[in-house]
Amino acid sequence: MFHGPWQRHKDLVSIHDLSAEEVEALFQLAANVKARPERYRTALAGQTLAMIFEKSSTRTRVSFEVGMYQLGGLATFLSSRDIQIGRGETIADTAKVLSRYISGIMARTFAHATVTDLAKYATVPVINGLTDLLHPCQALTDYFTARERFGTVKGLTLAYVGDGNNMAHSLMFGGPKAGMNVRVASPDGYKPKPEIVELARQDAAAAGTTVEVVTRPEDAVRGAHVVYTDVFASMGQEAEAQVRLKAFAGYQVTPELMETADKDAVFMHCLPCHRGEEVAAAVADGRWSVIFDEAENRLHVQKAIMLMLMHRH
């Protein structure tokens, strides 16, 4: 029924920390969980997941909450209004106190250090539900969705067009682990962080895949099997939205751009999406789009992550 936890890991903070074998084991478990959910109904019975949210959320909150329920456990929602993480109480104290009550922590925060500190001080598993730097649960889901669609993704290419943000970072980390090449196209001033690119390239060299950063969307998308984008202004960047709209002119994923990708290419987006900005409605709602399969798979992949980290033998 179950292959056991990732032996080397207490937490999921970054895909960079995982091996290709661990990612493959996760994907196999996620496929099993999706195909036969009833087999896992009591797998996390009696366990509780604390969900810390500094940012608003649709998919992350609902998928973790529902996922925990479907595994027989309970999820408790803690917004930044409910707990004073890092302000009224230190992150270390919060982590230590929660560890006395619950079986795992999922956190969606602004600062990446908040999640790394939670992982450092908690004695229970900590799952990164998104930080300003990384979004590992989403990227793992994206590669799982590609694997489901293509059967195998080894040697295929994912092209990401747009802001070199947390999504771009996690996709660059995920590609080498899944066996896919990654090409990121971002305008100058909005490219992914060089230190993330460097680590991803090291992973890619070890895996025999490639990670490239380019400027022109056409250079990234040509022949790609997955074409990916994200909003131009992420949560917390609303003030610079107008400046960003100008900077990203020409970076919309259009039907014309999709036609330059592989003939069987799919379009992905982590959602929420702004039709008419980063993606044309004809793409988001058209024949290439797998955005709702992708959104659904957050549930199955995160259930597999919780099983890998929290399942007790």
290-301 per-position pLDDT tens digit:
999 999 999 999
The least confident of 79-88, 125-134, 261-270 is: 79-88
The set of catalytic residues is 108, 135, 138, 230, 270, 298
Which helix (H) or strand (E) segment is 265 a member of? none
Q: Any idea where the domains of the chain sit in the sequence?
A: 15-134+296-310, 136-294
Percent of all residues in the chain with a pLDDT value above 70, rounded to a whole number: 98
Torsion angles phi and psi, residue 35, rounded to 5:
-75, -40
Residue 282 CB-density burial (10 A; 0-12 exposed, 13-18 middle, 19+ buried): middle
Check residue 29 and give its pLDDT. 97
Residue 100 CB-density burial (10 A; 0-12 exposed, 13-18 middle, 19+ buried): exposed
Beta bridge partners of 107: 52, 128
**Is the CATH number of domain 15-134+296-310 3.40.50.1370?**
yes
Q: Name the pLDDT band for 313 (thresholds 50, 70, 90).
A: very low
- Quick count: other Cβ atoms within 10 Å of Cβ 170? 29
Of 231, 266, 271, 238, nearest in space to 252 by CA: 231
Q: Which residue has the tokens 């969980």?
A: 33
94-123 per-position pLDDT tens digit:
999 999 999 999 999 999 999 999 999 999
Check residue 125 and give its pLDDT. 98
Separation CA 146–CA 293 (nearest Å) = 10
Average pLDDT rounded to a whole number, residues 258-279: 97
Check residue 4 and give its pLDDT. 60
Check residue 79 and give its pLDDT. 86
Q: Are 223 and 184 in contact (CB under 8 A)?
A: no
**CATH number for domain 136-294, candidates 3.40.50.1370, 1.10.760.10, 3.40.50.150, 3.60.150.10:** 3.40.50.1370
131-178 per-position pLDDT tens digit:
999 999 999 999 999 999 999 999 999 999 999 999 999 999 999 999
210-224 per-position pLDDT tens digit:
999 999 999 999 999
Q: Are 125 and 99 in contact (CB under 8 A)?
A: no
Check residue 3 and give its pLDDT. 54
Q: Tokens for 182, please give them.
A: 């990654």
* Residue 158, CA distances (Å) to 134, 148, 238, 288, 304 in order: 17, 15, 27, 14, 23
Q: Are 227 and 253 in contact (CB under 8 A)?
A: yes
Average predicted confidence (pLDDT) for the chain = 95
Average pLDDT rounded to a whole number, residues 62-74: 98
Alpha helices, DSSP H only, in the chain? 20-35, 59-70, 91-101, 112-121, 136-150, 166-178, 194-207, 217-221, 241-247, 255-258, 281-284, 291-310
Residues 278, 112, 310, CA angle at the centre, nearest 5°?
105
Query: Is 136-294 in the same CATH topology as 15-134+296-310?
Result: yes
Average pLDDT rounded to a whole number, residues 64-82: 93
